[in-house]
Structure 1
Amino acid sequence: MSRNPAQRAPRRLHLNVNILHSGFVPSAWRRDDADPRAFIDVSHYVRVAQTAEAGKLDAVFLADNAAIVDQIDFRPITALEPTVLLASIAAATTHIGVIGTASTSYNEPYNIARRFATLDHVSNGRAGWNVVTTADLPSARNFGRGTVPDHAQRYERAAEFTEIVKALWDSWEDDAFVGDKAGGRFVDVDKVHPIAHRGRHFEVHGALNLPRPPQGHPVLVQAGASTDGRELAARHAEAVFSASQSFEESAAYRRDLNERAAVYGRPGVKVLAGLTTIIGATETDALRRRDELVDQIPWRYSLNRLAGTLGIDVDRLKLDERLPDDLALPGGGNGNHTFFQATIAHARRHGQTVRELIRSLAGGTGHRVIVGTPEQIADDITHWFNGGAADGFNLMPDVLPGGLSDFVDGVVPILQKRGIFRTAYEGATLREHLGLARPDNAQLWRKSA
């Protein structure tokens, strides 16, 4: 039976969990029940993913770095390569999506296309690729470069890179694999197409050396607040991870992104706002938990981290003074726009000193932090979702796995009772979880025939 257009399915909230090793708060690994080796223990990540799946979350997400970019004398870092780790997670789960980060700055399109197509096959259609560029000098040096390419050049390369990856995923038509034992016909080679790409940054002949991914394309995710980042997302992304600190900022960002996507004839992009949760039975309990965690972070660590986000010398930050007035985008605009802008906006809006800023961000930088009861957190999420500021959230619990368990046991049932979050998985793929259509490449090759 066809559905009446007036009877569209209700809009549904989307929730991912960002598995930041021991948790978002830098001191999470110091808790009595934490394992300091969790950041390199696959079983830790699997437990977190299984908890997320029990809560019917859309996906788990793994960030990545190509260098040591945090202070390893104090805290764990992102160490394990995402796609290898996500393959292990996929083998231990059945429904939850697996999204990994891979940079367009220091990879090649063919390798990334093959890696994520493989992840989509081994997960039976649950893979997603978070498309990023890399702005830090240590990563550049690890790949034999003495400087970081400028911002515009990085995004120009990323745009071409993403086009190639999508073309490679489309290089096999869906029915190219035949497997006809009786006829002795394995693949219909007329349905396998070299992409023959020649561009400014890359020359790739193709086709890919494995059949089209189950989802057609693994879900494309992007994160970027700059103009170049928004344009890349508008052209290619199906979801974005944002770092807005206020409802108004996020709503404006979502409107702008969808207006840009419409110019390319694309449907709206899902905006998943970064959200750190610190949960207690009462608000007092939650605040106590936050303060205990923050008090275990050395001030020198937090100051160095904040200075790095702002692109200034740490000596310019005074704990009991406000941020300097003359802050400008780091690296002459060549640094990370997203977290710089989010951190500045938060500090200015609340008139905070550096000490107050660090505490309100739970020792982190950029992402929004909610401290409260399950009901308070559910109220905030509901407000942002119903008000159009976000389509969902990329959750970063204070401590893992405990902070996620608190969310799944306390917040998820409230959201389900309100009718905005699923009570059961209704599909098998990440695209189905997110309500995204599967790309049709047969139409592409019919047009070119």
Structure 2
Amino acid sequence: MSTPRTLHLGVDLTDGGAHAGGWRAQGPVAPRPFDAARLAGLVATAQQGLLDFVLFDDSFTLRPQRGAALQGRLDAALVSARLAPRSAGIGLVATVDTTHTEPFHVSKAIATIDHVSTGRAAWQLGWSTDAASAAVFGRRPAPDEVDALREAEEAVEVVERLWDSWEDDAEIRDEATHRFVDRDKLHYVDFEGVHFAVKGPSITPRSPQGRPPVVVRAGSPLSLDLAGRRADLVRVQATQRDDARAIREEVRDIARDAGRDPNAVRVLVDLVTVVGQDRRSAQERLDLLEELGGEQGRLPEGSLTHVGTAVDLADLLEDWFDAGAADGFTLRPASLDTDLRAIVNGTVPVLQADGVFRQAYPGTTLRDTLGLPRPASRYAAAQ
């Protein structure tokens, strides 16, 4: 018998929410978007709902909008590292850019989060094509999308080789022989590409997941192709169910053509949510957010959007999931505090009652939650 599909749900905790006015919609409580206790509270709420993961985006520049838009952002990997020992069960997805960050640093940062969280880290692959980000570093001009994605794909290859460079049992800690590691089980990666030449090995022991899942946010044909070849989890945008189903099948076809198992790739649709007690109150909340957001008072364009009740949201999720349009969704609450609580307390119980969402985390790692196998080290397999 085949294992039934399980709906996967993550939540984007970046900034104050998907709406520019979300950070101001805090009622009488003064907004504190960079407060560590607030972030821990949001993760605890998502964990209470047994969501697959929380996600933190990152960037090197301030938002181009002025006025009411939230400005400033904490480092996604460092935030994830802080939250790792203060959470359990839920995955922690950190965005790290590859255009201006060396693969060695990426591999070490994400592997460290995986160790600290005992196997709940993931890396959302980032890249930069804007002149403002390049100017922050001043080392190179901004690449175009083609070059940025080629470099990003090389970076994924290097990072995964570094994650594999320690075999699982390389750390022996043998007091009798005074040996901490078995040097025969540490491997040079010896990668030479167009953008990188990396010898290795990593200085970080192999992490609990072996290779933390790689997440790619695909918003163009080129990035979709990269995602199908390299990602474990693919984030896509679609406003119509049939369009989403076609994108999902395209990702699976790309994965298959690359020699991968398409059933080991999860395709999640981005979904912006504005949840209320009824549809009228949800629309009134959206109207308030647009007023608070000023000139930037609009929901993100191009994403599936739900303005309505928590139960109606559950119906939407199930409909798209059952139709094969998505393996799950990356939820983007318009206002984090309000909409995340509504999802956890109102939407998740409906999905659980309908038997499409879990009653408990299935294991200890994010790969367990996503239903993905733990890969073996390529170097151990080569011996």
The answer, yes or no, to whether TM exceeds 0.5 is yes
**For this structure pair, what is the TM-score category when the shorter chain's length is used for normalisation?**
over 0.9
Instruction: Name 2:356's counterpart in structure 1.
Output: 420
**Partner residue of 1:57 out of 43, 51, 54:** 51
Give 1:139 shift. 0.5
Give the 3-state SS of the residue equivalent to 2:32 in structure 1. Answer: helix
Instruction: Name 1:4's counterpart in structure 2.
Output: none
- Kindly report structure 1 stretches of 4+ aligned residues shifted beyond 4 Å: 34-37
Contact 2:16–2:70 (8 Å) recurs in 1: yes
1:29-44 matches, cutoff 5 A: 29-33=23-27, 37-44=31-38
Residue correspondences, number: 381
Which is higher, the Rg of structure 1 or of structure 2?
1
Contact 2:167–2:379 (8 Å) recurs in 1: no
Give 1:31 shift. 2.4
Whether 1:297 aligns to 2:296 is: no
Give 1:297 shift. 2.4
Whether 1:271 aligns to 2:206 is: no
Contact 2:68–2:292 (8 Å) recurs in 1: no
Instruction: Name 2:16's counterpart in structure 1.
Output: 22
Distance 2:56 2:211 in 1: 19
Instruction: Name 1:76's counterpart in structure 2.
Output: 70
Distance 1:68 1:95 in 2: 32
Residues 278, 193 of structure 1: alpha-carbon distance in 2 compared, 3 angstrom cutoff: same
Give 1:8 shift. 2.2
1:117-136 matches, cutoff 5 A: 117-136=111-130
Contact 1:59–1:99 (8 Å) recurs in 2: yes
Instruction: Name 1:211's counterpart in structure 2.
Output: 205
Amino acid in structure 2 at the alignment position of 1:63: D
Instruction: Name 1:435's counterpart in structure 2.
Output: 371
Give me the TM-score of the superposition, normalised by structure 1. Answer: 0.82
Instruction: Name 2:131's counterpart in structure 1.
Output: 137
Contact 2:23–2:33 (8 Å) recurs in 1: no
**Partner residue of 1:402 out of 295, 318, 338:** 338
**Partner residue of 2:302 out of 366, 388, 411:** 366
1:373-388 matches, cutoff 5 A: 373-388=309-324
Contact 2:7–2:321 (8 Å) recurs in 1: yes
Instruction: Name 2:151's counterpart in structure 1.
Output: 157
Residues 203, 128 of structure 1: alpha-carbon distance in 2 compared, 3 angstrom cutoff: same
1:175-324 matches, cutoff 5 A: 175-268=169-262, 269-299=265-295, 301-302=296-297
Residues 366, 70 of structure 1: alpha-carbon distance in 2 compared, 3 angstrom cutoff: farther
Residues 219, 35 of structure 1: alpha-carbon distance in 2 compared, 3 angstrom cutoff: farther
Distance 2:125 2:148 in 1: 12
Instruction: Name 1:97's counterpart in structure 2.
Output: 91
Whether 1:445 aligns to 2:383 is: no
Give the 3-state SS of the residue equivalent to 1:401 in structure 2. Answer: helix
Give 1:368 shift. 1.9
Deviations 1:53-93 (A, max 9, x none): 00000000001111113425322135100111011111211
Give the 3-state SS of the residue equivalent to 1:287 in structure 2. Answer: helix
Of the structure 1 ranges 91-100 and 69-78, higher mean CA displacement relative to structure 2 is found in 69-78
Give the 3-state SS of the residue equivalent to 2:69 in structure 1. Answer: coil
Contact 2:283–2:308 (8 Å) recurs in 1: yes
Contact 1:125–1:214 (8 Å) recurs in 2: yes
Distance 2:342 2:48 in 1: 12
Distance 1:78 1:131 in 2: 20
Give 1:438 shift. 0.4
Give 1:159 shift. 1.0
Amino acid in structure 2 at the alignment position of 1:416: Q
Contact 2:165–2:379 (8 Å) recurs in 1: no
Runs of 5+ unmatched residues, structure 1 = 1-6, 303-357
Amino acid in structure 2 at the alignment position of 1:216: G
Give the 3-state SS of the residue equivalent to 1:40 in structure 2. Answer: coil
Contact 1:64–1:78 (8 Å) recurs in 2: no
Distance 2:349 2:371 in 1: 21
Distance 1:444 1:96 in 2: 30
Distance 1:396 1:225 in 2: 16
Give 1:277 shift. 1.1
Distance 1:78 1:367 in 2: 23
Residues 97, 34 of structure 1: alpha-carbon distance in 2 compared, 3 angstrom cutoff: farther
Contact 1:178–1:186 (8 Å) recurs in 2: yes
Amino acid in structure 1 at the alignment position of 2:196: F
Contact 2:187–2:379 (8 Å) recurs in 1: no
Amino acid in structure 1 at the alignment position of 2:312: Q
Amino acid in structure 1 at the alignment position of 2:90: I
Deviations 1:126-177 (A, max 9, x none): 0000012112221011121574211111111111111000000000111111
Residues 420, 78 of structure 1: alpha-carbon distance in 2 compared, 3 angstrom cutoff: farther
Instruction: Name 1:327's counterpart in structure 2.
Output: none
Deviations 1:397-447 (A, max 9, x none): 121222100110000000001100001112110000000000111x54342
Amino acid in structure 1 at the alignment position of 2:268: L
Contact 1:140–1:146 (8 Å) recurs in 2: yes
Of the structure 1 ranges 146-155 and 380-389, higher mean CA displacement relative to structure 2 is found in 146-155
